[in-house]
A and B are shown apart, each in its own frame.
Chain A
Amino acid sequence: MKTEFDFLKSIAPEPGNLIKGLQLIQATEGYISEDGIRAAAEYFGRPEADVEGVVSFYAQFKRVKPGKFQISVCDGTACHLKGAPLVHEWLYQDLKLKPGETSPDGLFSLETVACLGCCSLAPVMSVNGRVYGKLERKTMMKILKEYADK
């Protein structure tokens, strides 16, 4: 196992901890790389194909390197009714971003999530975990511009 994955040693190498281990890898790397798959397979004593199977099953795990700022647009029921498709449309028009993609400058990546649990503030998005509600086109672009200028 490559030394850069030594942080895995903070949890016991039992098979049941695989998901926790993958979450650690993603928290450190930002995504699950080929090396990450290999490291997890070795550490938890599971075939690489098995690990890849688990990674592909869960929506949380990403195999593509994300942008500096991760935009998650909620498409829960309330947000959908209140305009989540429009939010996607705006993001596509202004940033040329589609769900699952990272912008060429590596600044933003976009994903759709099922529900952020803030339905009463629909439509909602989160940027690096911080939730913004009652989105309108202008306010949203202002928020994203502030991130881009950081």
Chain B
Amino acid sequence: MSKIVAIKIGLASCGIAAGGEAVLAELKKATDLPVIEVGCIGHCYAEPLVEACLDDGSSVIYGNVKATEKDIQNILSLAEEGRFEIPAARKAKELVKVLALAGKISPVDFDDYTANGGYEGLKKARMMKPEEVIEEIKLSGLRGRGGGGFPTGMKWGFLAAKPGFDKTVICNADEGDPGAFMDRSLMESVPHQVLEGMLIAAYATGASRLIIYCRAEYPMAIKHLKIAIEQINAHKINCFDDRTIEISIKEGAGAFVCGEETALIASLEGQRGMPRFRPPFPTDSGYQGKPTMINNVETFGNVPIILREGGKNFASVGSEGGRGTKLFALAGDLKYPGLVEVPMGTTLREIVFEIGGADPDHVKAVQTGGPSGGCIPVEMFDTPVDYDSLRSLGAIMGSGGMIVIGNDRCMVETARYFLDFTHRESCGKCTFCRVGTTRMFEILERIVAGKGCEADLDTLEDLGKKIKAGSLCGLGQTAPNPVLATLRYYRHEYLEHVNENKCRAMQCNALVDIYINKDNCVKCKMCLRSCPVNAISDDFVVDPAVCTRCNSCLDSCPKKTIIRVAKGEAK
């Protein structure tokens, strides 16, 4: 019988949100074994996760662990109950490279990282000439993981071509897309890997300053990065033969547009984060007027792997439209939300159904690229996911957020939601983006309220095209995408809203009533008690004039006999 030698507990943000800290406290009380706090292994749906490492090198993982004596004893006695197995379909499709160490090592333990191949990429790079490193990156075919997809090696080449060492490399960690958490997870779980990638970039491009621009909403990522930077300084890994690299973190202050390069630089300089016209490109004149290069977190996370295994090997994975693996944050209407890493070119069908475990009969579409992307209907799920294929469908791969949209979600409401976000986040510089997105949002508000007309749809399309053409930066150029894509694939839903006052998903409150089916009703009065506005009468009839459609009664009903129906049909 094997013995437990150590216990690992996943305590990234998601683990903590699921109650991991309480489990940790109980574990520490119950055992003297070393309890190691690790990052995220990507299976968010089963958090908190606890891994019992055995003396024969294998391990047993327990999922959905509660801070109860029973659950803790299950782990310590290696009971069968509560064990967590990675779903077989996911195991078959996944290729874990960038996330290989995430959730396996302590994020803040320097020795743990180096013992697992950490900083070997940097060591290797420093034995090469800087231009050879850039050649290797070019060979790997790595493209920017933030969504733009610009060839990374080429970008590095631009900065390296500038004379002197007074250059800055910035890591864009302002992951602002709602629904994306790849970068957070990487920084929380393996901060050293991101920093190693940045140090390699500094070596190759001749930069002497590294800045991480991280959103303030990620306190744990910032904490782990700060610890890692101190360790780097202490071990003098940032001391090259001819210069010492200065590494710092700057916290963003909550502006989606700051993901755009020039806006990010303005924000770093303490200004309003507004984009400016390019050229000059940041590699010519960026941070404080000096040559500057910006890459995304995940891009840097790939770099040590390229150096370790060679550009050619790296490029053997993936498809024409993109090399290597890509992280995706899966969320929405599916069984296994979480973080996955798959080779580029994996189809949506494989990601959403096989890995995500979504019910094929229940899925309507998937939204990729967050508010800059578009929805892709289920009929097109055989599309491979890479930079180029999704663009042809009117969506983008983006940074990797993937929201699965079920049949019971209204596409008009979904589009309205994204425009609500972008119209507020527009910085206001370009008229088309500032005024145009607001007008689009107002029209969509009208449609979901049942007050739209058919001409509104043409106005939306017309505005969308003009905003795309008349905006300076990526925010405005992509903001209309969610509306244009839904209009393209789900025009019938828009038409039902404006012509028939109908929302087939029963989601738009203005077009819906609540109906209590008395056939199955057991008269338990749970609905009466749960209703916050007393809209339900003693004989179980909902007064539509009082009801706020808050769904409290639906949730409270033990017989699930209360439903949302089209307006006026609650009879």
Contact = CB atoms under 8 A, between A and B. Distances in A.
A44 B255 CA distance: 22
A86 interface: yes
A95 to B, nearest CB: 12
Contacts of A75: 178
Interface string B255-288: 1100000000001111111100000000000001
Interface residues of B, number: 64
A137 B401 contact: no
Nearest to A137: B552
Contact of B181 (A93, A94, A117): A117
B570 to A, nearest CB: 19
A104 interface: no
Contact of A77 (B14, B256, B417): B417
A133 B253 contact: no
A131 B17 contact: yes
B548 A53 contact: no
Given A59-B254, A76-B178, A77-B401, A119 B331 contact: yes
A115 B17 contact: no
B216 A60 contact: yes
A54 B258 CA distance: 13
Nearest to A78: B331
A150 B370 CA distance: 38
B178 A118 contact: no
A89 interface: yes
A136 interface: yes
B504 to A, nearest CB: 16
Nearest to B267: A19
Contacts of B552: 90, 137
B102 interface: no
Interface string A5-35: 0000000000111111011000000000000
Nearest to B406: A81
Q: How large is the interface on A (under 10, 10 to 19, 20 to 34, 35 or more residues)?
A: 35 or more
Contacts of A58: 252-255, 273
A106 interface: no
A120 B217 contact: no
Scoring B178, B181, B273, B425 by chain A CB atoms within 10 A of each residue's CB, the highest score goes to: B178
Interface in A75-107: 75-78, 80-83, 86, 89-90, 93-94
B176 A19 contact: no
Contact of B403 (A77, A90, A118, A131): A77
Contact of B271 (A54, A80, A120): A54
Nearest to B551: A86
Given A75-B178, A93-B550, A119 B253 contact: no
B409 A20 contact: no
B181 A131 contact: no
A59 B18 CA distance: 27
A58 B329 CA distance: 26
A122 interface: yes
A53 B272 contact: yes
A19 B13 contact: no
B405 interface: yes
Interface stretch (B105-113, B151-159, B332-340): B332-340
Contacts of A117: 13-14, 175, 181, 184, 217-218
A129 interface: yes
B377 to A, nearest CB: 17
B292 interface: no
B555 interface: yes
A124 interface: yes
Nearest to A26: B253
A59 B371 CA distance: 18
Contact of B272 (A57, A78, A136): A57
25 contacts: A18-B270, A19-B251, A44-B270, A46-B270, A54-B270, A58-B254, A58-B255, A58-B273, A60-B253, A77-B179, A78-B403, A80-B417, A83-B551, A86-B551, A90-B550, A93-B548, A114-B256, A117-B14, A117-B184, A119-B331, A120-B45, A120-B337, A131-B17, A136-B555, A137-B555
Given A77-B370, A121-B17, 5 more contacts: A16-B269, A19-B253, A53-B272, A77-B417, A117-B218
Interface of A: 15-20, 22-23, 44, 46, 53-54, 57-61, 75-78, 80-83, 86, 89-90, 93-94, 113-122, 124, 129, 131-133, 136-137
